[in-house]
Structure 1
Amino acid sequence: MYIARRQHGLITTRQALGAGLTPDLLRHLVRAGMWLRARQGIYALPGAMPSAEDEACGRLSADGRPPHSVPRRRTVPGATATGASTDAAADPSGLAVDLPGPPVNGSYPAAKARLPFRVRVRAALLARPGAVACGVTAGRLLGFAGLPQPADDEPVHLRLPVHGSRRQLEGTVSHFGPVEAGELVDLDGIPVTGPDRTLADLVLASSREDAVAMIDAALHRRLVTGLDKAVAACAKRPGARRVASYWPLADGRAESVLETRLRLLLHDAGVPPPCLQWPVTDGTGRLLARLDLAWPGEMLDVEADGGAVHELPPALHRDRERQNQLLDLGWRVRRVTWADVLRTPAKVVTSVTGWLAAGP
């Protein structure tokens, strides 16, 4: 248990046998559900794992970062930060030792999928000493918005040195290439590519719409303070020329993925909104609303109504009251949903261009 606590609830087969457990006892612990098989040769001990609240993927603190996970710059490039004991890190071959026996509660992938996200990441790193979490895995750890919904069997993305083993392990996607020391951060002992490098990696792997949405969200949440470092991290890499036009389209004022997608749709149609989050006040100077996409000269407000929040009764009441106040002030309001953008984009463009042509 002491070894597992040092490793955030994880222990390898070699470590367990070295601590005096027998293969039969290990099989019993797994069958009984007392130990969970995280991956080949690595087990998770529920009693030694951090709480689910602390390890919950995507849960953010007030400043936009995962709770209890303030990134710290790593000063020793290539060193593992999983808390693994010396024997585990020095002898990777020992991590491949596995014991036969049925998995917990059915199939092995299903049992593994029930483990908290960070536990699965730590297990993958324990199996590949010297690796760092990267790509979409790093994005989830850092609290990036705009990422696709994770599947239960989503693999862990790791970046390894070019000279390392090219063997692909089950449940992981290995990327090979250098990462500068200044591009790494430490999240509670998990080595992760930093926000700027992670943003560059994600943009290079994404479509224009998804890439700009992630850039907008990273700027809005202040995960990055500018784009110079991310753009530099893209330079001279495969795909850098393809994404070069994405960066100028970013705007950190966008508050949702739908706002970004709607802005890009109108930009491509030649009617980009001149103002985002435009403040509107009443006669006394009291703020009435911040308009998602606004053309103040034409008194046109285009609102991006995304997600279930706007469908809840309190939100519906606030939206209607706010819209009535805007109408009283002479604003014209057009509401756009995800269905509008994805299914009838031409209709959205026609509506907006028509209102602009008609004038206030």
Structure 2
Amino acid sequence: MEFEFMKSIRREILASLTGFALILFPVKASGQPCSLSMQVSHTAAEQLSLADLDFPNFHSTNLLFTVTFTNKGVVAANASLHLIMDITLAQGSINFPGALDLTTKAFPVPPGGRTITNLNLGPGGDIQTQTYSFSREAKTKIEDIALLTGHMPAGSYNFHIELKELGCATTVNDHVELLLQNPTRVELRSPRDGETTNTFPLFEFYQDGLRAVLTVAEKTPEQTREDAITRKPAMLEIDLSGRNSFLYSGGRPLEDGKTYVWTVVSKVRTAGGSDIDVSSPIGLFSVSGSLQGSGSLNGTVDDALLTQLEEILGSKHHAVFQQIRSGGYHLTSNMSLNDSKLSASQLLDLLIQLRDLSDSIELSFE
């Protein structure tokens, strides 16, 4: 009887200890919420090198993307990343889905979190590679274009990044897309070299980048073009974004009988965050305030204002503007905005701002 009683006591104690073990040493079950989250950002790079993308094999110093991890837990979590890069080249719409595929070994994320970049994945980085592949076809195509042009081919380089937390069933996904423009040339179109213009010339040029700087400077007879364009202060130096034309305004007035030089510099952002300048040739033009064209307004501030209005309102009112020019009409000096008097130059600047917004606002002509 005593023996049976002791066995019963032992069974109850064992059951209690087992219960304590389950409470003190929980196992993270499948489907349990994970502790980690991530946010991915990238640089505004317009040029890359193959070394920037071939993480395990080359040591790059250029920052492409940043991954910020947040750990809501009270202990460090172990994680790994799975990175896939899709490439779509602008040349001939050539696609390489899954061109690069990389999986890292597990790495710790302390409570609170940590931040890594693509530089952590390369040689000497603290995150080691588990598996890695780079499509031979994609790599060969990229190398062939890079050897020919000296630049990585323009196109879309789309990184899909997946975070896996060890012990959790769910994954976290994000992606970044690098759009490479690789601007390589800047071409001046108008005024043509040596042309005589009015006092409000329309500058037209070609450059396939996102940002450019237009500079206009006076040239004296004894100066070379190179000396004149570096003259400070310039007549005009203006940053242009997404534009390939600019009607002269905002600078010092261009004077009748003088000669000027102009140039456009395309600003190309590299993966390292710095700019490379791609410059046009230095153009030359002269100014004549009395220059007449097909209309009596040509060469005056009135014509510059009408040109801006016509560009904003589109071609549907072309006949109206032709009548204004051929009829010799001119603007009065009574110009105002919200009861504040405007000069012709201020009105011209306002119209240029409206033109830049013309894609997002609706304008009417009465």
TM-score by length of 2: 0.25
- Structure with bigger strand share is 2
Quick one: higher RCO (CA 8 Å, sep 6+), 1 or 2? Answer: 2
Which is greater in Rg?
2
